[in-house]
Amino acid sequence: MALSYSKRMENIKSSEIREILKVTQKPEIISFAGGLPAPELFPVKEIKEISGIVLDEMGPESLQYDITEGYPPLRQQISERMNKVLKTELTENNILIVCGSQQGLDFSGKVFLDENDVVLCESPTYLGAINAFKSYEPQFKEVPTDDFGMIPEELEKILKTTKNVKLIYAIPDFQNPTGKTWTLERREKFMKIIEKYEIPVVEDNPYGELRFDGEILPSLKSMDKKGLIIHLGTFSKTFCPGLRVGWIAASEDILEKYIFIKQSADLHTSSFSQRIISKMLENYDFDERVSRLKELYKGRRDLMIKTIAEEFPDGLKYTNPEGGLFTWVELPEKYNAREFLDECIKNNVAIVPGGSFFPNGGHENSFRLNYSNMPDEKIVEGIKRLSKVLKEYLN
């Protein structure tokens, strides 16, 4: 008996990364494939303490149904943090709490995209966003990018000649998968263009606070004069992912639509998780926490880039990210990273082939490496194993 599923299910497959992660859970494999934050810095002790305080002080309220928008003190704290760090001008009424920023991506598709509408994204872009948007059956157009971000002239060329562009998706800071960051000049040019065409933009910012070098650049949201920017944030990388708390920051008009969607999607985000995070922000020094994370990740990035420079065969291009969790490697065009993934696994090291990050395919000569989730000695050993496979493959 063959059931009749919705048409969208034809587009929806399991994420390739999830499938690779299943293969790479054997302890002997050094996996650069995932995107996990470092568990050794999770605030386990603090969350234990805070869980008790939340239940003692708030009692049953912390376990009851809650308002869809989110726990008001947490919305307030998030708006204040964004105003301080990202130079926005938001109030709690601009914030909706969601179950991780992945839910913000899914809702963005739901709010804006009908079948065959066009969504623009960087080329390459985050695989999880591609999969979330695919549920709404859009066409993807990839905007060419270089080391400074989305290329404004290419964006405008597409906007001039493409009907039904309903949404632009961008990760200006430490992009997943490339680790690249848009320059200030690029941000300014981008804002001028989208204000001219009045296209809403999802600014995905999961790693924004994790900048190792230089100063945090103004977020697109801070430059948003027309209320076009929908900013996605999360505590997954700064506290821990397992509580599933992220947020959407947008104009009240747009946010209202997301609130309707949240209500019918799952009523609200965990009352308990929200109160734990709110109390953590109140009782602990968040800046100090972010500093420790940056120090750890900076060390791991430095070591990975140094080992790559020493070990990789000549002629490969790779990014040296100023923050975030990933670096991105490009082989000469005739090569294909999927071809040597099996060899990698046989040599007990794992990567994600880059092709997955291009919604319209191609670009198989690239791969992504994660450095946040791996102790130093494994970074060195893993890059050595990978270099061996690469040298054999490229010969």
Q: Which residue from 157, 160, 204 is spatially nearest to 182, judged by alpha carbons?
A: 204
Which residue in the set 9, 185, 295, 360 belongs to the binding site for its own copies (CB under 8 A)?
Answer: 9
Under rule CB under 8 A, residue 5 binds its own copies? yes
Which residue in the set 95, 168, 210, 254 belongs to the binding site for its own copies (CB under 8 A)?
Answer: 254
Q: Which residue from 151, 165, 171 is spatially nearest to 237, judged by alpha carbons?
A: 171
- Measured CA to CA, the distance from residue 394 to residue 312 in angstroms comes to 11
Ramachandran bin of 173, using left for φ above 0, alpha for ψ from -120 to 50, beta for the remaining angles: beta
The two three-digit tokens of residue 85, written as one number: 């760090």
Contact 139, 119 (CB under 8 A): yes
Under rule CB under 8 A, residue 353 binds its own copies? no
Q: Which is nearer to its own copies, 241 or 382 (CB)?
A: 241
List, in sequence order, every beta strand (DSSP E) within 208-295.
Answer: 229-234, 246-249
The interface with its own copies within residues 106-145 (CB under 8 A) comprises 106, 110-114, 117, 128, 131-132, 134-136
Q: Which residue from 238, 220, 241, 237 is spatially nearest to 229, judged by alpha carbons?
A: 220
Under rule CB under 8 A, residue 160 binds its own copies? no
- Measured CA to CA, the distance from residue 23 to residue 310 in angstroms comes to 28
The interface with its own copies within residues 15-34 (CB under 8 A) comprises 15, 18, 34
Binding segment for its own copies (CB under 8 A), chosen from 62-70, 78-86, 175-183, 334-342, is 62-70
Which residue in the set 31, 78, 100, 389 belongs to the binding site for its own copies (CB under 8 A)?
Answer: 100
Under rule CB under 8 A, residue 242 binds its own copies? yes
Binding segment for its own copies (CB under 8 A), chosen from 83-91, 105-113, 322-330, 338-346, is 105-113
Q: Which is nearer to its own copies, 50 or 308 (CB)?
A: 50
Binding segment for its own copies (CB under 8 A), chosen from 88-96, 176-184, 256-264, 348-356, is 256-264
- Measured CA to CA, the distance from residue 201 to residue 223 in angstroms comes to 12
The phi, psi pair for 278, rounded to 5°, reads -60, -45
Under rule CB under 8 A, residue 163 binds its own copies? no
Q: Which is nearer to its own copies, 242 or 332 (CB)?
A: 242
Binding pattern for the stretch 185-204 against its own copies, x by CB under 8 A and - elsewhere:
-------------x-x----
Under rule CB under 8 A, residue 63 binds its own copies? yes
Binding pattern for the stretch 68-97 against its own copies, x by CB under 8 A and - elsewhere:
x-----------------------------
Helix (H) or strand (E) holding 123: strand 118-123
Of the CA atoms within 13 Å of residue 1, those in its CB half-sphere come to: 1
Minimum CB–partner distance for residue 199 and its own copies (Å):
9
Which residue in the set 27, 48, 334, 361 belongs to the binding site for its own copies (CB under 8 A)?
Answer: 48
Number of residues that bind its own copies (CB under 8 A): 85
Q: Which is nearer to its own copies, 247 or 318 (CB)?
A: 247
The interface with its own copies within residues 271-310 (CB under 8 A) comprises 271-273
Minimum CB–partner distance for residue 35 and its own copies (Å):
8
Under rule CB under 8 A, residue 177 binds its own copies? no
The two three-digit tokens of residue 188, written as one number: 């300014």
Which long-range CB contacts under 8 A does 145-148 form with residues at least 24 apart?
Answer: 145/178, 145/180, 147/180, 147/319, 148/180, 148/182, 148/183, 148/185, 148/186
Minimum CB–partner distance for residue 54 and its own copies (Å):
9
- Measured CA to CA, the distance from residue 216 to residue 208 in angstroms comes to 8
Under rule CB under 8 A, residue 102 binds its own copies? yes
Binding segment for its own copies (CB under 8 A), chosen from 82-90, 155-163, 238-246, 375-383, is 238-246
Query: Who's near 298: CB < 8 A, 6+ residues apart?
Result: 212, 213
